[in-house]
Every structure is written in C-alpha cells, then in structure tokens.
Amino acid sequence: MIRELRHQKIIEVVTQKQGITVQELTSLLKVSAMTIHRDLRLLEEKGILQRVRGGVVIGRPDETKEEICGYCGKALPARTRVMLFGGSGQAVPACCVHCGMGLLRHERELSAGLTVDFLYETVIDLERGYYLYEPQIKVCCVPSVLAFADRGDAERMQMGFGGKLLNYEELKNCFIGK
C-alpha cells in the first residue's frame, strides 16, 4: 500500500472514531508499529493529528497556541475577542470587551487595541467601535459588552436586546472611571 493512501486511511479513521490506538492501526493497516509511529509523527508535524501516548486524536489546529484571556483565563471566542497592544508592542489577548477593559485598568499605556464585530466578525479598532453595555445577551463575561463596527447595527441590536449604547470613551469611563 502506498504510504499516502495509508495516511489518508489513518486520517479517515481517526476523524471517524475521534481517535485510535497504535495497535488498532497496525492490525488495520498490516504494518509494524514503528511504521505507524512514523506515520503519525509526519501527520502530526503537518498539524493534521495530535499524537498522544498510545495513539492519536484529532488535532484541533486552532488550539495549537492555546491562547487564553489575559484577564479571566478563558479561551478566546472568535466573536468577542480583544487584542491589546502595549506600549512596547507586546500583545495581550482578552476573551471579550469586558476583560479587555479589565486589563486596561492595569495597563494604561496602550499603543493599539482591536476587537471583533459581534455580527460580522470583522476586526475593528477599539477606539472606533460602538458598544452595547449590558444587553440581554450574555455571550461571555458579565457585565456583558457587545462590539460593533457600525453604529446602526448597534442601535438595531439595542432595539431588541436593550443595553446602553456607548462609544469607546464612554465605555472606558464605564469600566475605569474618570
């Protein structure tokens, strides 16, 4: 059997079964354990699978860095994440605007900050965003804040879900005080 086909087979069965042992693979593919080990190493290097002792599991490629919120320690949801760039260029991520603001309380010197539009997931400059403070949705931390690139979108969300519509300055005052 061609190695590439064997690899395909491995990927297939691992995806299907969420994981499999080296032993099972040797009997399934009729090759030695060493060959399986080598295969798995190659596939892991490509980021396709994750090797664990005894076998493999499906590799979650976006979990490779395992970035966590610098404030609360949670994972970073794609829709609400915030990225703060400190004065010396270092980047600190936060899971949502709430935690981003929490970080800001300590790290005053900010060269830039980004977040993500709740509706479209486009990246927006923190300073240019519009925010819904304490709407009737809690997708991440509380007090909840949703970010929007467009004021109209923020207003439309407000119609349904309430909350206070703020710009960046107002948001900062809300969290940090004057």
Cis peptide before 61 (omega within 30 of 0): no
Nearer to DNA, 44 or 107 (CB): 44
Residue 13, sorted as left (phi over 0), alpha (psi -120 to 50) or beta, turns out to be: alpha
In angstroms, rounded to a whole number, what is the distance separating the alpha carbons of residues 153 and 150? 5
Q: Does 37 bind DNA (CB under 7 A)?
A: yes
Minimum CB distance to a second copy, residue 107 (Å): 21
The alpha-helical segments, DSSP class H, found in the chain are 3-17, 22-29, 33-45, 97-106, 151-161, 168-176
User: Residue 53, interface with DNA (CB under 7 A)?
Assistant: yes
Does 105 contact DNA by CB under 7 A? no
**6 near DNA (CB under 7 A):** yes
Residues that bind a second copy (CB under 8 A): 1-5, 7-8, 11, 18-21, 43, 46, 48, 52-55, 57, 61-62, 64-65, 77-79, 119-121, 136-137, 139, 153, 155-161
Tell whether residue 21 is a contact of DNA (CB under 7 A): yes
